Chain A
Amino acid sequence: MVKRNKLFAVAMVLFLLVGTLGCSSQSQSGSGDSKDNPKQPYKIGLLIPMSGDAGDHGQIMIDGAKIAQEEINAAGGILGRQVELIPFDSAANTEKGVTGAKKLIEQDKVDALVGTYRTGVALAVMDVAADAKIPFLISMAASDEIRNKIGKDNSYYKYVFKVAPDVADYTANLLPFLTDITKAKTYYYAAENTAWAKQLGSVMKKQAEAAGIKLVGEAYVDTSATEFTATIMDIKKANPDVVVCGIITAPGVPFAKQYYDAKVPVPMVVTSGVLTIPNTIKNMGAQSDYISFGLFNIDKPITDLTVPFWEKFQEKYGYRGTGFNEVKTYDSIRILAEAINKAGSFDKDALAKTLETEQFKGLAGTYKFDETDHQAKWGEGYVNGVLAEWKDGKAQVIWPENVRDSALIRAPWWK
């Protein structure tokens, strides 16, 4: 008996080990050549996950990047140089990300880096890029640690810019659901017990309070939870005007199903994750109806680039974009090209200056980087998202008004 328990303990330790295997490493400086020869292609290294737990996302990013590359090259390239993409599989792993960045810089002699899905990878690769004085556009990693790091030493991270949305942008994207669409006075935050969801929760609370909306209850469920009676009863008891859902991994689906079946009389909006992915929704039937969610992009005329891009993407690859991975990769590459063209030279300092001062058009709106922390600004006139609602397995855009398919479709049992 005792022996068995010991073995079980060993097993537990093994589990924990595997869970924490991702370790970080310090970076060394590399050397970068500047090659302004117009005959040479302009090489962009893509640091993206093509294996590991985020492995699905990499191909979508490449697919988005290729469209940007084609468009730029068809229009004469970057100051006459054709764009060449060199992807590297970072496996969403810090160590591999650093190795990849060094390989791209030292062996492939890339002119710029785009990518990283995980914040940890971005934070490590930033240093490699800064040491090598290689421009690095962070396309997806969201945590505000990145912009804080840039803000603290923006002469060192002169060439690092964050195209990716900030944590606060995730919640700012949902805010119109409370202020404009439902005119809510109160909300309930149902999320999973992770650092990310907690971060979202506290930012959301600040933004909501600033808009005069009160948090009346919150739940942080375990990421392995499968039964949500307690959560749903707590929501009913708190009786909020809106439920904001931050359950973005596996438990999101059983939660949404139970929420639907319990006919909770409160509209729900989801920040991102499983419940925003068409593939997940596909077989959920009616149980996905009336779930609203934030998206960073969709095939609506957000800018004049947006609809043609989505059509091209669908036609070229035969599947629908996610509104995030392909969009942010595409936008990053376009911004890089537009900035160099605007600067009129390949000089890196001129590029940095242009990125800091000018505005750039992308699929998600107009990119304007903060002068200090290099974070792309969010909101009207800048980059902005959309809100949509699932109905009969289709995403109906419900905000902003100028591009929406319909107003919020109300479930019969809502109050």
Chain B
Amino acid sequence: MVLEARGLTKRFGGLVAVSDVSLTINQGEFVGLIGPNGAGKTTLFNLLTGFHRPSAGTVVFKGEDITGLKTSGRVHLGLARTFQIVQPFPELTVSEHVQVGLLTNKRKKQINVQQEIEEILNAVGLVEKSNDLAKHLSLGQLKRLEIARAMATGPSMILLDEPFGGLGQHEIAAIQELITDLQHKGVTILIIEHVLKAIMNLCQRVIVLNEGRILAQGTPEEIINNPEVVGAYLGKTDSGQLKKVL
């Protein structure tokens, strides 16, 4: 078990965005987090990575209680993430993004920085762009850059927030390949996706969030046949239609 959340709750004024969520993720696992818009998925990520302080509950990472730890501290422990809306440094080049990520990398004493940058850029397919400023990249490239920067920090677990959002079929395939590679390297992955289809074949387990609560979890197969999930998405139990949407 690499990550564990116990009773996580987040209130924004009267709104309970995340309500008493407990979950565990095992080493090397590939887990999907789905749910309708506004279900609290991004908020849950913010709680796990320290962007928000939980109203209640604890987060344990690699056996250490990190509930009070700053985001930077969590990154140093090996917990990386990407944002649903990309957050690049507009005035830095692609390779500089990887470089600054490497500054936090635990293994930085043993690694050859230049070689590492090349390896990562190769993996995300941005080698030709390595000297371009981030502000000149396309959305698909930025999404990959976001993952490259996260990889550079040397994470043992990555949280990906809708990495396919807004992308075309071709770009989606490229990123799917990239995160499969990551998993093969032993990185634990928790991925938010609005559309289950895109991660059906990747995930070993899927967690469904609805109105801040965990509605169901299980294999992708179990999830798309779960009438409660269907209800949450469509307001009616018609798994035939649901399969199309998901």
Q: Do chains A and B touch in the complex (CB under 8 A)?
A: no
**B residues touching A (Cβ–Cβ < 8 Å)?**
none
